[in-house]
Structure 1
């Protein structure tokens, strides 16, 4: 399964599709809906659901 973001013509793919690859996680979205105990090790750009919707609404 993937997401196709029409405004930017971007495709978003789950990282689990790529085994044995070194990926750098750069951002997290919908952080306001994640469990409190869930935290990624590296620092990322974090966006709430509303921030994501606002970003794509303005394009």
Structure 2
């Protein structure tokens, strides 16, 4: 699975502007940390979209 696949699954539009908006909060990090943080966030969004009631059980 590619980063683009994860972005699409998370609902991030595939325009340069939308992708930049998503990644901008992680831009202050070093390259590997930026990638790891962004991937973690994409996976969180995907989990939330596919299992929206799971987060109610966390709290």
TM-score interval, normalised by the smaller of the two chains: 0.3 to 0.5
Higher helix share: 2
Q: TM-score scaled to structure 2, two decimals?
A: 0.32
Q: TM-score scaled to structure 1, two decimals?
A: 0.32
Higher strand share: 1
Structure with the larger RCO, 1 or 2 (CA within 8 Å, 6+ apart)? 2
